[in-house]
Amino acid sequence: MATDNTYVNAVVGAAVTVCLSFLGVSALLGGATAGYLERRDGGRVGALAGLFDAIPMAGAVLLLGGFLFAFLGFGDAFAGGIAILLLVVLFVAVSTIALSTVGGVLGVYLAEEFRD
């Protein structure tokens, strides 16, 4: 299913990351899938896959964190908690993009290694 469209390969990689999100290395596997499909420039397609996946992941962290703060009764009075929540969102986004980039490079390597 390898296509020449980088964005399609990145979206497929992001979908793999979401489907395997219960694993700790899902971003690495999603980036590797995108890089394997792309077969060139794995860092770029892996980073795109990570970016496409980081957006819903950050939204889920914000939603879960918002409910957590609301149900624990912190509300607006706990401004430090919101700063911590935003730092967690930033960490999730950066780590997802970084792992997907590494996975994209590994995916291109695997595609070259196992070429027919």
Q: What pLDDT, in 10s, does the model give residues 49-73?
A: 999 998 888 888 888 877 777 777 6
Residue 47, token pair as written in the block: 């980073």
Instruction: Give a yes or no: residue 1 inside a domain.
Output: no
pLDDT at 83 over 90: no
**What is the structure's pLDDT at 9?**
92
Residue 11 belongs to domain spanning: 6-113
All residues at 6 or more sequence positions from 6 whose CB lies less than 8 Å from its CB, including other chains: 38, 41, 44, 45, 48
Number of separate domains in the chain? 1
